[in-house]
Amino acid sequence: MTLSEVTISELRELASRYPEARSALLPMLHLVQSTEGNVTNQGIELCAEILGISAAEVSGVSTFYTMYKRRPMGKHHVGVCTNTLCAVMGGDAIFERLKDHLDVGNDETTDDGKVTLEHIECNAACDFAPVMMVNWEFFDNQTPESAIEVVDKLRAGKKVQATRGATITSWRAAERVLAGFEDGLVDQGPAAAGPSLAGLEIAAEKGWSAPSANEAKAKPNEVPDDKVGAVEQADTSRAESETKDEEGKK
Ligand code: FES
C-alpha cells in the first residue's frame, strides 16, 4: 500500500506542531499505523525524510515501543494485562481462555481478520484488575466469560462499550486519535470510577486537601497543621505489622 497525499500532508502537519520537528515522530508513527495497519517501510522512510533523521533512527523507535506494530493488525486489538496484579487476579486465565476461544497465539490475528490478541504489560489500571484493553480502551474487572462476550461481539460487528471510555470503533481509528486527530468521542463514558476515586472520597469526608504549591515549596518535609490529623488517622497498622513480621524473620 502507498501512503496517500492526504496522509503525507497530515504527517507534515504533525511535524510542524512541535518546536523540534523530531518530537513529532511518535504521533507520526501512530498516523502511519492508522492508514496502513502497521508501521511500513515506506512509512519509516517518509517519517525520516520529513523529520531529517535517518530511517534507522525511526526504525529503532518503532521497534522499541510495543504499541508500534511491524505486522498488519486485525480490525481490533485486544490486549490482556498479564502483569503481576492482573495475572493473579485472573488475567492469565483470561488470556488462556481467549487464546483457545479465538484459536490464536500471542500477537496473532483471527482467521477473519477481526481480532489481534496480545498479552500486555501493566496499564496503570491495577485497581480494576484484571483489565483488558480493546483498541486501548479499558475493560475493567474482567472474567474469562466477560472477555469472551466482548470478543464475540467485536467479531459480530455489534456495538461494544468500554467500561471506562468510548464506544469501540477500530484499532486504526484509535491510532488516528493517538496521532492527535480527535474523533469527538473523548468525553464518552466515565474516565475515573470506583476504586480510583476512593482516596478522593476519604479526603473529602475528612476535610483533607493537598497543600498549595507555595506551602509545599516553603516546607517540603513538614506536615502542614491541617494535615496532622490526616497522618494520625491514617490506618498504617497492617503495613506496620507486615514490617514487623519481615523483621522477625531476619
Ligand atoms: S497489573 Fe494490570 S493494570 Fe496494572
Taking only the tens of pLDDT, the chain with its 250 residues reads 589 999 999 999 999 999 999 999 999 999 999 999 999 999 999 999 999 999 999 999 999 999 999 999 999 999 999 999 999 999 999 999 999 999 999 999 999 999 999 999 999 999 999 999 999 999 999 999 999 999 999 999 999 999 988 899 999 999 999 999 998 888 888 777 788 888 889 999 999 988 888 877 777 666 666 565 665 666 666 556 655 555 665 5
Q: Which atom of ligand 1 is nearest to the CA of 130?
A: 2
Q: Which residues contact ligand 1 via a Cβ below 6 A?
A: 81, 83-86, 122-123, 125-126, 129, 131
Phi and psi, residue 133, nearest 5°: -115, 135
What is the model's pLDDT at position 43? 97
Are the C-beta atoms of residues 30 and 175 closer than 8 Å to each other?
A: yes
Task: State the residue for C-alpha cell 515549596.
Answer: 217
Bridge partners of 77? 116
For residue 80, the CA-to-ligand 1 centroid distance in Å is: 9
**Position 71 in a domain:** no
For residue 194, the model assigns a pLDDT of 82
Say how many Å lie between the CA of residue 123 and the centre of ligand 1.
5
Of 128, 156, 159, 126, the closest CA to residue 142 belongs to 128
Phi–psi pair at 73, nearest 5 degrees: -100, 160
Q: Does one domain contain both 140 and 218?
A: no
**Which CATH number covers residue 129?**
3.40.30.10
Angle formed by the axes of helices 92-102 and 144-155, nearest 10°: 40
d(CA 26, CA 29): 5
Q: What is the pLDDT of residue 83?
A: 95
- Tell which of 170, 187, 222 closes a domain: 170
Question: What's the domain count of the chain?
Answer: 3
What is this structure's pTM?
A: 0.81
Three cell numbers written together for 246: 519481615
Using alpha carbons only, how large is the chain's radius of gyration in Å? Answer: 23
- Domain membership flag for residue 179: no
Residue 115 phi/psi, 5-degree rounding, is -135, 130
In a domain, 233, yes or no: yes
Kindly give the pairing relationship between strand 76-81 and strand 132-134. Answer: antiparallel
Q: Which pLDDT belongs to residue 167?
A: 93
Report which of 189, 220, 197 is spatially closest to residue 128, judged by C-alpha positions: 197
Sequence-separated contacts (24+) of 18-21 with Cβ below 8 Å:
21/50, 21/51, 21/52
